[in-house]
Structure 1
Amino acid sequence: MQQNGRRQALADFLRQRRASLSPGSVDLPPGFRRRTPGLRREEVAQLANIGTSWYVWLEQGRDVHPSAQVLESLAQALRLTPNERRHLFLLAGQPLPPAVSPASENVSPALQQMLDDLNPSPAYMLGRRYDYLAWNKAADGLFAISDLHSDASSPYACNMVWRLFTNPTTRSRPNWEMVARATLAEFRTASARYPADPWFEELVEDLKQVSPEFCQWWPHHDVRRALDGHKVIEHPTLGSLEFEHFTLQVLTNPDIKIMIYTPHAETRARLQRFLEAMDDCDEAGRSASDRKSHQEAER
């Protein structure tokens, strides 16, 4: 994008975001005689703690160069989402800032339903720290993810990177080194976006203590190897399974990754039968539990 076009795009973006906010949404009094919807320019300047004239120049598309600190103040004043914040920095020609680490990561019921609807294609979600956040029944059957959440032996029990380097079953897979190196490269890129998060440093140091391969590969600074593509997974019950693997992002929170394994035709048929058998076992278990409860109630 040419400089003039970039400045005009930045001006348009700021005006649109300002117009979309009401005084009440930013804890300002409503005031009187507002001729246009949204905030006034001086109100945005006040919230961002910058000069009104300087902010007006930004909205006029003048040749001014806001610093990262000013852009951060504007992002907070205009209540920008993480995606809008990134867009603001790109339009201003500034390097992308470190992401603001959210207090928690929640998977909405709609996203969980989307995962469930993908059965028998295994699918799960990873958070910014590569923790398993949600998954469907096919992914649980393939990777036994739910078992991780019942393991209290490690603070990293639900972390994919920790499991990849420490779990004997995972390490025994034929293509383990290729997957481990590619995942490590992706994880290094993700961790660099949170330089103030000590959790990443603690995980790295603990992995160095338990995994010689991690200790050897981490200093290489490999980044962004592709994890997507053709995958062959050896399952102890189902045998060799073939997939095409895709990674998607949640637009409202790009740090959440959706990992989808689309099975080949033969694999899909075996997975479907496997899930039906799991459902039958669950139903039999529930029936046995109901009979036991009924018998105890009659005593």
Structure 2
Amino acid sequence: MTLDVTATQPATGAGAVTAPRDHDARRAELAAFLRSRRERITPEQVGLPRGTRRRTPGLRREEVAQLGAVGVTWYTWLEQARDIHVSPQVLDAVARALLLDRAERSHLFALAGAVDPMPGSECTGVPPALRQVLQQLDPFPAVVQNGRYDILAHNRTYSRLMCDLDSLPEEDRNCMWLAFTHPEWRSRVVDLDATMRVMAAKFRASMAEHVAEPAWKALLARLMEASSEFREIWAQHEVIRPMGSVKVFRHPWVGVLELSATSLWTGPNPGPKLMSYTPVDETSRTRLEKLAELTALAAG
């Protein structure tokens, strides 16, 4: 990626034009915003060692530059409110390095006066047509997730299959995180130990192509800190490629469900995929239909 970073030299002499005050204010606000986002992130969140001589709160400037693959001098100028031109590609790299959420990312691009190539309405990569497909699959549970196990979209039945998914914070809507840390989610997986090992092995295989990306490193660090089970499994370095399988769930509303999991890739493999769960027998089909009815009633 070519970084479009150009320092603007101020004009001098009798014909000089003073930069508009709103431009200066915008650059100052951008600098302050970047500092505040940098200082809130711990090294552990992005897979960096803390060290023993760290005095800066959060990350250092050079660490943000390293994570975003941008120049240290340039990033320093940006935090110093220098008058430099920044491309959308560079802003995207900084947003990812600083783990910005949708609102923060939008704010970053607005302050920089740039057009976000991935606006909030499209950042999940799930187009409206695919969302319609998800809804039409009811009562069969269906979800769109990426290689990192982030839940990008889901239908109504899936929202209650494992837990009340809609009540969770957005940052927790990740199947890996839920499988290792969420008591209700874990209680509904009949063979939890085997499921955790397969998920961790798939995650490691997918991460091979994303080892330097902040979001992947942050999830890995978060799991390592939160779960001793994950640390033990991760240390074994097992890998496995995605495959279809039969999943067995135990739901408090309808009982045991035996469902066949099928993945349909929505782009290059590995990448986002639509995963649907279909019943393997009539008992599971009847129970899925009952779950869909109860979910609709609960939604009011």
After TM superposition, the score normalised by the length of structure 2 is 0.54
| Aligned amino acid, residue 208 of structure 2 | A
Distance 2:137 2:191 in 1: 26
Unaligned runs of 5+ in 1: 1-101, 286-299
Distance 1:170 1:144 in 2: 6
Distance 1:280 1:202 in 2: 37
How does 1:72-91 map onto structure 2 within 5 Å? none
What SS class does the counterpart of residue 220 from structure 1 fall into? coil
User: 1:272 maps to what in 2?
Assistant: 289
Say if 2:187 is the partner of 1:168: no
User: 1:151 maps to what in 2?
Assistant: 169
| Cα offset, 1:230, TM superposition | 1.7
What SS class does the counterpart of residue 239 from structure 2 fall into? coil
Larger Rg: 1
Q: Which has the higher contact order (CA 8 A, sep 6+)?
A: 2
1:126 paired residue among 137, 145, 167: 145
| Aligned amino acid, residue 168 of structure 1 | P
Distance 2:238 2:132 in 1: 35
Mapped contact 2:163–2:184 kept (Cα < 8 A): no
| Cα offset, 1:115, TM superposition | 1.0
What SS class does the counterpart of residue 107 from structure 1 fall into? coil
After TM superposition, the score normalised by the length of structure 1 is 0.54
How does 1:203-214 map onto structure 2 within 5 Å? 203-214=219-230
1:218 paired residue among 234, 239, 242: 234
Distance 1:134 1:189 in 2: 23
Distance 1:134 1:177 in 2: 26
Mapped contact 1:246–1:259 kept (Cα < 8 A): yes
| Aligned amino acid, residue 275 of structure 1 | A
| Cα offset, 1:281, TM superposition | 4.9
Distance 1:219 1:114 in 2: 39
| Cα offset, 1:261, TM superposition | 0.7
- Inter-CA distance 145–225: structure 2 relative to 1 (3 Å threshold): farther
| Cα offset, 1:145, TM superposition | 5.5
User: 1:179 maps to what in 2?
Assistant: 195
Greater helix share, 1 or 2? 1
Distance 2:178 2:297 in 1: 29
| Cα offset, 1:279, TM superposition | 3.0
What SS class does the counterpart of residue 153 from structure 2 fall into? strand
Distance 2:211 2:294 in 1: 46
Q: Share of identical aligned residues, percent?
A: 35
Deviation digits for residues 148-174 of structure 1, max 9, x if unmatched?
A: 5x437xxx4111111111112233343
| Aligned amino acid, residue 279 of structure 1 | A
Distance 2:190 2:293 in 1: 28
Distance 1:171 1:274 in 2: 18
User: 1:53 maps to what in 2?
Assistant: none
* 262-271 or 139-148: bigger deviation: 139-148
Deviation digits for residues 99-135 of structure 1, max 9, x if unmatched?
A: xxx9533211111111111111111010242110111
Instruction: Please give the root-mean-square deviation of Cα atoms over the aligned residues, in Å.
Output: 2.3
- Inter-CA distance 145–190: structure 2 relative to 1 (3 Å threshold): farther
Mapped contact 1:182–1:225 kept (Cα < 8 A): no
Unaligned runs of 5+ in 2: 1-116
